[in-house]
């Protein structure tokens, strides 16, 4: 384990004995702090859900004075490394001073013809951010996050969708001594703490920006007054061969977050997938409902673009916020070795740009983070919660 700042530290252990790995990883993180921990987060990758539970229960006993949360995953991040699909545990510990940590556990109840999420704590005026870990098989994360502004106001949500190596039924969530097999858990951080978010969607635009002029649900029928499929075919025909291959392997579309901006370039969009085409209606199906009048632009994603996007965002963050002490990293399980050829890429990017700070996290089945001031669930994204020292003592984000 690298020596890190005294307020934030991480740990990582790999091995088939998950309980021993949990003890090692959490112990490393706690040993890196100069004082007692206020918040500990841990992430466990293991084949047997019962072993994961035992490891999580062990992890929750190791910092009795702290709030402790965690989840199962298909890969973990710590000590500037990523470990995918192998028995491993990563941990992160923080000393937060006079900041407050409020844990929560969410469940979904049926009320007449709809579902209601219960368990959110009361909001305080000085709430800074909420960390959310959710089971994607039992909790309506997309709907909850997309409508979170109605309940949480402008409170940023950051986190990820947990998973397990056996998929449905193997997800485990942990919070302050309790084990959950469904729902969502997390904490709200409040008071004098300086936090910010970085969400790297890793795409670059192709073709022009266009206004949606006809649409039905998630079908784009017309873009800028022409059939959507015809517009897409024109754009693809003008691309270089390399970009055509990227279109074939996974086309995306970006929804402009600021309709009034004079230009819409990389980073100005909320990215959603293109699901397919409907030749009969000359339509393009996308992974969201896009209103008529919305400005969109097609996008592509590859390792080079994702690398550039993450480094540029982190460099800009460092310049704006100055010293950074720690971070939680929620990276898509489609990144790592699948995208970059190494599981270490995102963790090393944080170390390269922000320095040897305490960073841990996991490879998620979906990432939560704000774009354009609104919370969203993403794919192929690195969502990062950053802890800085600038302005500590104020409540400004």
Find the mean pLDDT for residues 162-174.
97
pLDDT of residue 394: 32
Digit-coded pLDDT (tens) for 21-71: 999 999 999 999 999 999 999 999 999 999 999 999 999 999 999 999 999
Identify the DSSP state of 90. Answer: E
pLDDT of residue 358: 97
pLDDT of residue 4: 40
CA 78, CA 197: separation in Å to the nearest integer? Answer: 19
Q: Which helix (H) or strand (E) holds 313?
A: helix 303-321
- Give the model's confidence band at 385: pLDDT under 50 very low, under 70 low, under 90 confident, else very high: very high
Find the mean pLDDT for residues 92-113.
93
User: What distance lies between CA 85 and its chain's CA centroid?
Assistant: 19
For the chain, what is the mean pLDDT? Answer: 93
- Give the model's confidence band at 328: pLDDT under 50 very low, under 70 low, under 90 confident, else very high: very high
Digit-coded pLDDT (tens) for 210-249: 999 999 999 999 999 999 999 999 999 999 999 999 999 8
Percentage above 90 pLDDT, the chain: 88
* Tokens representing residue 69 in the block: 């949360």
What totals of helices (H) and strands (E) does the chain contain, helices first? 9, 27
CA 172, CA 164: separation in Å to the nearest integer? Answer: 8
- Give the model's confidence band at 392: pLDDT under 50 very low, under 70 low, under 90 confident, else very high: very low
- Give the model's confidence band at 266: pLDDT under 50 very low, under 70 low, under 90 confident, else very high: confident
Report in angstroms the alpha-carbon separations of 4 from 33, 137, 192. Answer: 8, 36, 22
Identify the DSSP state of 303. Answer: H
Residue 188 has pLDDT above 50, yes or no: yes
Identify the DSSP state of 323. Answer: -
pLDDT of residue 390: 55
DSSP 113-160: TEEEEE-PPPP-TTEEEEEEEE-TTTS-HHHHHHTHHHHHTT--EEEE
Residue 301 has pLDDT above 70, yes or no: yes
Find the mean pLDDT for residues 151-167.
96
- Give the model's confidence band at 2: pLDDT under 50 very low, under 70 low, under 90 confident, else very high: very low
Residue 324 has pLDDT above 60, yes or no: yes
pLDDT of residue 337: 97
- Give the model's confidence band at 159: pLDDT under 50 very low, under 70 low, under 90 confident, else very high: very high
Residue 367 has pLDDT above 90, yes or no: yes
Q: Where are the domains of the chain?
A: 8-200+305-388, 204-300
CA 367, CA 162: separation in Å to the nearest integer? Answer: 9
Please state whether beta strands 8-14 and 88-94 pair in parallel, antiparallel, or not at all (unpaired): antiparallel
- Give the model's confidence band at 196: pLDDT under 50 very low, under 70 low, under 90 confident, else very high: very high
Q: Are 145 and 224 in contact (CB under 8 A)?
A: no
pLDDT of residue 20: 98
With the C-alpha atoms ordered 59, 60, 61, 67, is the resulting torsion angle positive or negative? positive
């Amino acid at each position: 384990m690298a020596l890190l700042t005294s307020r934030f530290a991480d740990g990582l252990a790999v091995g088939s004995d998950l309980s021993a790995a949990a003890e090692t990883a959490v112990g490393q993180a706690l040993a890196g702090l100069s004082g007692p921990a206020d918040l500990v987060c841990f992430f466990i990758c293991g084949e047997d859900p019962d072993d994961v539970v035992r490891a999580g229960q062990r992890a929750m006993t190791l910092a009795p004075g702290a709030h402790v949360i965690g989840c199962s995953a298909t890969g973990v991040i710590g000590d500037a490394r990523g470990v995918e699909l192998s028995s491993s545990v990563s941990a992160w510990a923080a000393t937060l001073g006079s900041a407050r940590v409020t844990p929560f556990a969410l469940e979904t109840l049926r009320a007449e013809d709809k579902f209601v999420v219960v368990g959110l704590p009361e909001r305080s005026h000085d709430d800074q951010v909420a960390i959310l870990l959710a089971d994607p098989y039992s909790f309506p994360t997309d709907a909850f996050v997309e409508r979170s502004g109605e309940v949480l106001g402008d409170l940023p949500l950051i986190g990820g969708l947990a998973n397990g190596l056996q998929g449905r039924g193997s997800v485990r969530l942990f919070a302050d001594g309790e084990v959950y097999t469904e729902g969502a858990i997390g904490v709200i951080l409040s008071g004098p703490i300086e936090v910010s978010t970085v969400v790297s969607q890793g795409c670059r635009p192709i073709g022009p920006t266009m206004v949606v002029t006809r649409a039905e649900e998630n079908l784009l029928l017309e873009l800028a007054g022409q059939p959507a499929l015809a517009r897409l075919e024109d754009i693809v025909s003008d691309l270089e061969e390399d970009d055509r291959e990227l279109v074939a392997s996974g086309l995306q579309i970006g929804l402009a977050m600021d309709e009034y901006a004079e230009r819409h370039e990389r980073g100005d969009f909320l990215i959603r997938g293109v699901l397919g085409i409907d030749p009969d209606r000359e339509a393009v199906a996308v992974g969201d409902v896009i209103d008529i009048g919305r400005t969109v632009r097609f996008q592509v994603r590859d390792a080079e673009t994702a690398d550039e996007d993450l480094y540029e965002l982190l460099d800009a963050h460092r310049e704006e916020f100055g010293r950074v002490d720690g971070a939680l990293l929620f990276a898509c399980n489609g990144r790592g070795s699948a995208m970059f050829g190494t599981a270490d890429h995102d963790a090393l990017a944080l170390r390269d740009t922000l320095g040897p700070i305490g960073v841990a996290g996991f490879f998620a089945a979906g990432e939560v983070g704000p774009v354009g001031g609104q919370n969203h669930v993403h794919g192929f994204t690195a969502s990062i919660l950053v802890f800085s020292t600038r302005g500590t003592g104020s409540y400004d984000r």
